Amino acid sequence: MLRVVFLHYHAKPGGVSRVIQQQMEALQDDAECIFIAGNGIPGDGALREVGFGNRKVLIVAGIGYDGIRPEEPPECTASQILKAIESQWPIGCDLIHVHNPLLKKNRHFLSILNILQNKGIPLLLQIHDTAEDLRPGSYYVEEEYPRDCHYGVINSRDYHLFLEAGLKPEGLHLLPNSVTPLIPLAQTQQAKVKGHFKPRFVLYPVRAIRRKNIGESILLSCFFPRGIRLGITLPPTSPSDYPSYEGWKGFALSEELPVMFELGLARPLSDWIQETLCMITTSIREGFGFTFLEPWTAGKGLIGRRIAHVVENFERQGIEFPDLYANLHIPTDCIPLDQAKARWEGMVRETYAQYGIPLDPCTLETVWNRITEGGRIDFPYLHPGIAKRFIQQCKGSYRIRKRLMELNPWLGTLIQKTSSVETQKVIDRNKGRILSSYSRERYRERLLSVYQKVLTIPVQHSIDKDHLLRSFLDPSMFYLGGM
C-alpha cells in the first residue's frame, strides 16, 4: 500500500482540515495515511498525538502558525517531521501531500519543505488559497516558491493561472474536492421534538468571515416575504474577522432586521434544514465553492451571488444555478459617492503597496468610472459604514426598495421561485449530478491518479511569482464588503 503523509499548519475543524479528512477517508482501502499538523504550543517540540475524527494527528509544533509555534530553526522542525514519519514507517513514506504551503502562515515553512525535498521525498503541494488573491499579509515577498515538485489546484482558474506562471502540465493537477451530502434531520424525528412547523429561514450555512459578504445577505433580507428570516449559522474564529462580524450583527439587531445569528451554535446544521426554505450565498471570493454545491444535496435550492470562475467549473458537469445574480446594483445618487470612491481607492492603494507593486493613478480612475457606469455600483464595492447607511434607507423607504427592484428585477422573485415545481426538478437533477461528479469514489480515483504521476513523472519547473501576482491583481475585484 502507498504510505502517504498529509502536512498542514493545524488540524482545527473545518476548511482545509475537513478536506484532509475526506482525502484520508477516500484512500482508506488504498493507502496508509498519517496527518502531521502544527497546532502545538510554544516550547512543545515533542511528538504528540491528538484526535482527528476517528483518526489521529501527529503534532509537530514547529509547523504551526507564527506566534504559536516554538522558535526553532527549520532544520529542527524538518528533523521532527522525519522522526514522526519514521515512528509510523521505519522505511519512510512514499510522498508528502502538503496543503496550502504558499500562504506565509509560518515564515520557515518553505525552508522546511526544501529540506524535505532535498531528502528525496516526493512532494505534492495542494493550493486551496493563494496569497496573491488579495491576501498581502500572507505573501512571501522575498522567498521563491518550491520548484521541481508537483502542484495541485482546486479550480480551473487557478490551473490556468499557474500554467501561465510557469508550471508544466505534467506537474500541475486539477484536484477538485469531494462533496459530502448534507443530511437533514428526519422530518418525523424533528416533528417529535418541535411539533408542526413550516420553513421560515433562508439559511446562510457559513462561518461569517469577511469574504462571505454578509452585509449583502442582510440587505437581501429586506426583500424576504413576511415571516421569513435570514439565518447565519456560525461566527468567525479568526480575530481579524471578528470586528466586522460583530459590527454587522449589532447593526442587524439594532435595526430589527429579519436576521438570526449563530444558529449552528444552538443546534447542528442538520436540525435547521427542514426549517429552511432555501439557502443563500453572497460570498465574493471562494476557492473550491462548497457553498454552491451542498444545498442541493440537502434538497434545497440556492439563491445569491454568482462567482463566475467557480460556478463555471460546476456548470461543465451539468449543474444548474438559475437563481444566482452577477451584480446587486445600487443607485449612486443614494450614497455619498465621493466617500465611497475615497474608501475604495485607499484600499486598492494600500493593498498594492503591501505587495510592493506600483499603481498607475490613471488605471484607478478608469476602473472606478467603469464600476460606477450608468449611475449604479455593485453593493460589495461599498465600505461597510456606507453600506449600513444605505440598508437603513432601504428599510425605511418603499421608494428606494422600488428603485432597487427596477435596477435588479430578480429581487421581485428572489424567494418565490424556490418552492416551484420547476425548482424541485432542478434540485433533483443537481443532486444526482453532484453526488456523481464529486463522490468519494471519484475523489479516490483522482487522488490515486495524481499520486501515480507524482511518483513516476519527474518535473523541472518553477513559478514566476511576479507574473502570478499580476494575474490576480485586478482593481475591479477589490470589494470593500469582503475586507
Domain boundaries, the chain: 2-178+440-482, 180-325+416-438, 329-407
Handedness of CA 43, 45, 49, 50 (dihedral sign): positive
Confidence class for position 185, pLDDT limits 50, 70, 90: low
Q: Is the pLDDT of residue 437 over 60?
A: yes
**3-class state of residue 230 by DSSP:** strand
pLDDT, average across residues 412-431: 87
Is 427's pLDDT higher than 70? yes
Predicted local confidence at residue 47, as pLDDT: 45
Question: Across residues 455-464, what is the average pLDDT?
Answer: 98
Asked whether residue 24 carries a pLDDT value surpassing 90, the answer given is yes
13: Cβ contacts below 8 Å, ≥ 6 apart: none
pLDDT in tens, 310-342: 999 999 999 999 999 999 999 999 999 999 999
Is pLDDT above 60 for 187?
no
**What is the side-by-side order of every strand in the sheet holding 150-153?**
48-52, 55-59, 31-37, 2-8, 95-99, 123-127, 150-153, 172-174
pLDDT band at 418 (very low <50, low <70, confident <90, very high): confident
**Could you tell me the three cell numbers for 318?**
451539468
Q: What percent of the chain has pLDDT over 90?
A: 83
d(CA 365, CA 215): 26
pLDDT score of 170 more than 80? yes
Alpha-carbon distances of 40 from 37, 269, 479, rounded to whole Å: 8, 29, 35
* pLDDT tier at 41, thresholds 50, 70, 90: very low
- pLDDT one-digit tens code per residue, 68-98: 899 999 999 999 999 999 999 999 999 999 9
Q: Which residues contact 373 (CB under 8 A, 6 or more apart)?
A: none
Domains 2-178+440-482 and 180-325+416-438 share a fold: yes
Give the pLDDT confidence score for residue 483 in this predicted structure.
62
Q: With contact defined as beta carbons under 8 Å apart, do 122 and 95 qualify?
A: yes
Look at residue 403 and give its three-state secondary structure: helix
User: Among the listed ranges 110-114, 118-122, 239-243, 394-398, which one has the minimum average pLDDT value?
Assistant: 239-243
Q: Which fold has domain 2-178+440-482?
A: Rossmann fold (3.40.50)
pLDDT in tens, 261-299: 999 999 988 899 989 999 999 999 998 999 999 999 999
pLDDT of 44 reads 40
- Interatomic CA distance for residues 284 and 296, integer angstroms: 20
Assign domain 180-325+416-438 to its CATH architecture.
Answer: 3-Layer(aba) Sandwich (3.40)
